[in-house]
A and B are shown apart, each in its own frame.
Chain A
Amino acid sequence: LAKTTQPISMDSYEGQEVNITCSHNNIATNDYITWYQQFPSQGPRFIIQGYKTKVTNEVASLFIPADRKSSTLSLPRVSLSDTAVYYCLVGDGIYNAGNNRKLIWGLGTSLAVNP
């Protein structure tokens, strides 16, 4: 059964780069990797998505090695407002009507950014 594993918590300081790694050893060929950020009492918010190699947007980078069994979310120069829970999600890239969606959420990494 597919499973995603990520650290329960991480601590950092303002201005530092933070890397959060997610393990997904059983990822399937058609699966994508997505990261979400969640603040208390809010819904998750999309950060970045990738399939392989490296993806970068205005807020983060996502590194995926060739075997795709892990992925690393990189947050450059974090600030206090980046304190949140970060979820790794492995999801299917093919739709099969009537079948369950494959959306494997990690348990989340609680990131604390200190002054």
Chain B
Amino acid sequence: DAMVIQNPRYQVTQFGKPVTLSCSQTLNHNVMYWYQQKSSQAPKLLFHYYDKDFNNEADTPDNFQSRRPNTSFCFLDIRSPGLGDTAMYLCATSRAPTADTQYFGPGTRLTVL
């Protein structure tokens, strides 16, 4: 089945130690998104790619970076994680960068100690 896959599902890292989260998709969608979702909160969009065009949300901390080496893969890099970055990180895809259904992966639960 076509899907959005996230690895790892659970990640524990130490304060200040860089971490990379991975997302891959078999849907061949043009758009890939990264969201941060803290406990009992709505998902918060960090950035998205439309093909190779990178779009960073204005309030996304510089500590968060992303790479999309090809259509299928997208990475979230947290350069120096802080305790406040403990959250679920969700990857999503859509065909179009406008009003289109987003397909979410299962998420990576990141814990910063």
Give A residues with C-beta under 8 Å from B.
Answer: 31-32, 34, 36, 41-46, 49, 51, 87, 91-95, 97-101, 103, 105-108
Contact = CB atoms under 8 A, between A and B. Distances in A.
A34 B99 contact: yes
A46 B42 contact: no
Interface of B: 4, 41-45, 48, 50, 53, 55-58, 88, 90-92, 96-99, 101-107, 109
Contacts of B106: 41-43
Contacts of A91: 98-99
Contacts of B96: 95
Contacts of B58: 100
Most B Cβ at <10 Å: residue of A32, A42, A101, A105: A101
A98 B50 CA distance: 10
A29 to B, nearest CB: 12
B53 A98 contact: yes
A91 B48 CA distance: 14
